[in-house]
Structure 1
């Protein structure tokens, strides 16, 4: 039973991240539609609105909820709850903290989604591009913690994460310059 729960947990993590990766892209497209003519902007934003609603309510939210349900099932069926505060389970505690922040990120996207559904476009496409990369940082951090566990030193893991973030930010700057 444990393996089935774990498999379902992983499947819904993948679909949840698919939504977390694509939703900010739709925010960017809807924001950039504001640079078009009034007619084009209206048509594009209506289409992006439909796409956002379907993605958010049809895939992203259900996947976030099912990830949580199956994640808790794996935690308790695998007796991971017994080691989370032990030295050997420290990786799991750090992972759960990252997961908590991932849900905070999810709720921040929900807030942006609600704003854009109300016709409020507060953020520039560049700000949204940067915000889009936050999910990537969470994905890498969580997967690394799960796979390498104790063999990854906290300091080297943190240094690697910081270097990765700097690399992402540099890539965004380069993209912005190339795009003009």
Structure 2
């Protein structure tokens, strides 16, 4: 009976994976803003920090955590319907990346808890780099699922790493130009 709902379950899994990643991408962007707000003068700092804490809280508990849980539930249902996937080597690699995604999510939760207490331990540049972790995992998983090959995903990940390096270099160049124009 559950097999007739396979396409619905797969669709729901994909929707919640997308919203989970959206939450992860945006929460780290809010971490960037929070870290930058700590460098502002008073009372601007207090106003911004309170607003970012509220935004982080709502995003984390209304979108990101529920999406992670629902994506996982629908993933387990898909594996229940298709247990043969667990015998495929590409699925083993994918599950490894999903494990890394959970670790990334839990680290974000730790950072979230620190920032809720206004304990900023990292710079905005650290958070910008940290955001690339989810991007690399996303690329790897998408290539694995589409290509169903445990090796071809490497090209996609290498591509995103190179793209990330180019973005960081562009960011540094832009920052230097902006600083030069301000002085």
Query: Structure 2: 5+ residue runs without aligned partners?
Result: 177-183
- Equivalent in the alignment of 1:164: 160
Partner Cα distance (1:15, 1:37) in 2: 35
Q: TM-score, normalised by structure 1?
A: 0.90
Compute the displacement of 1:133 (Å): 1.1
- Tell me the alpha carbon deviations over residues 117-152 of structure 1, each in whole angstroms, 9 at most, x when there is no partner: 1111111111100001111111111011000113xx
Compute the displacement of 1:159 (Å): 4.4
Partner Cα distance (2:172, 2:163) in 1: 14
Partner Cα distance (2:125, 2:160) in 1: 19
Is 1:9 aligned to residue 8 of structure 2?
no
8 Å CA contact retained: 2:13, 2:70 = yes
- Equivalent in the alignment of 2:86: 84
- Equivalent in the alignment of 1:49: 53
Compute the displacement of 1:36 (Å): 1.0
Q: Equivalent of 1:22, from 12, 19, 26?
A: 26
- Equivalent in the alignment of 2:72: 68
- Tell me the alpha carbon deviations over residues 88-134 of structure 1, each in whole angstroms, 9 at most, x when there is no partner: x1111111110111010000100100011111111111110000111
Compute the displacement of 1:76 (Å): 0.8
- Equivalent in the alignment of 2:128: 129
* Superposition misfits of 4+ residues, deviation over 6 angstroms: none
SS at match of 2:148: helix
- Equivalent in the alignment of 1:175: 171
- The Cα RMSD (Å) is 1.4
Query: Structure 1: 5+ residue runs without aligned partners?
Result: none
Q: TM-score, normalised by structure 2?
A: 0.89
Figure out how many residues of one structure are paired with residues of the other and give that number.
172
8 Å CA contact retained: 1:20, 1:60 = yes
Partner Cα distance (2:20, 2:160) in 1: 22
- Tell me the alpha carbon deviations over residues 24-65 of structure 1, each in whole angstroms, 9 at most, x when there is no partner: 000000100112112101000000010000000000000000
Partner Cα distance (1:75, 1:83) in 2: 7
Partner Cα distance (1:51, 1:170) in 2: 30
